[in-house]
Copies of this chain bind each other. A is one copy, B any other.
C-alpha cells in the first residue's frame, strides 16, 4: 500500500474494445459495445456501427440534441438498462466545458464515457509552522462510499452552474462555509484520472482548491452528506492516505496533489515522478 496505488487504481481503464462516441465529428466519449447495442432502437438519434457510435440528430442546437438523447435515457431507465435519472446535466465535450456538444444526465455519463467535471477543496488551518487539514466522514446512509473519509468540500459540477457558483453552493451545503470565506478559495490546478467503473469509462476532471481557514472556524454539514468533521495534523492525513483505504478513492488523489504542492511529499518519495505525471492524464480519446 502506498500513494501510487491509489493513483493506479483510479487509472484502471485499459483502452481496447470500446467504441468512440462522436457528436458533430468530435469524439466526446467512449462506450462499451454492450451499451451501444442498447441504443440501436433509436436510429434517428444514434448511428451505431461496429467501429463507433455517432449522434445522428440533425438539429444543430445543443438544446435539441440534448432533448432527443434525454428521451432515449428515460426509456432506458424503464427498460432497466440505466438505474435512474439524476437530474443534473453534464457536458459531453472533446475538451473544455465551454465546448459542450451535448448535455447528458449525470447518471448516464459513465455509460457514454464522457468527461465528468467536479470540484474538490482542501480546507486547512496554519498554526506556526504546522498545518492541520479539515477532513469529513461521509454519512453511513450515503449510496456512494458510506463512512469513507472525504475532502472538506467536493462535488460534481453540473453544466448549468459556473465554477464559482457551484463552489459557493457546495461550500455552504457540505461544510457551512459562508461566501465571505469561500471566496478566498484558491484554484490550484486540476487532477484527472481515467477509471473503469461497472458502468463504463469515467474520465474525471477535478478542479482543485485550497482554502486556508481561520482557527476559530468549525465546519457544519447542511445536506446530510457528512456526519462528522475532523481537524487532523497534516502528518496524520498523509499516513492515512498512504497506509489505508479510509478515504473515498478519488479524494486520495486530491490530497496527494495537495501534499506534493505543499512539500509534504517530496522528491525523496520513491514514486514521485510517476505520481506527478499520473495525476494529470488526458482522457483516452
Measured CB to CB, the residues of A under 8 A from B are: 95-96, 163, 186-190, 192, 205, 207, 260-263, 266-268, 270, 272-274, 276-277, 279-282
Contact = CB atoms under 8 A, between A and B. Distances in A.
B186 A262 contact: yes
A187 B267 contact: yes
Contacts of A205: 273
Count of identical protomers in the assembly: 2
A52 to B, nearest CB: 24
3 residue pairs, one from A and one from B, having the closest CB atoms: A186-B263, A187-B266, A190-B276
A282 to B, nearest CB: 5
Contacts of A282: 277
B186 A276 contact: no
B273 A189 contact: no
Contacts of A190: 267, 272-273, 276-277
A187 B187 CA distance: 19
B277 A163 contact: no
A285 B21 CA distance: 29
Nearest to A190: B276
A273 B95 contact: yes
29 contacts: A95-B273, A95-B274, A96-B270, A96-B273, A163-B267, A163-B268, A186-B262, A187-B263, A187-B266, A187-B267, A188-B263, A189-B260, A189-B261, A189-B276, A190-B267, A190-B272, A190-B273, A190-B276, A190-B277, A192-B276, A192-B277, A205-B273, A207-B267, A276-B280, A277-B280, A277-B281, A277-B282, A279-B280, A280-B280
A207 B260 CA distance: 12
A190 B277 CA distance: 8
- A95, A187, A263, A282: residue with the most chain B Cβ atoms closer than 10 Å: A187
Contacts of A272: 190
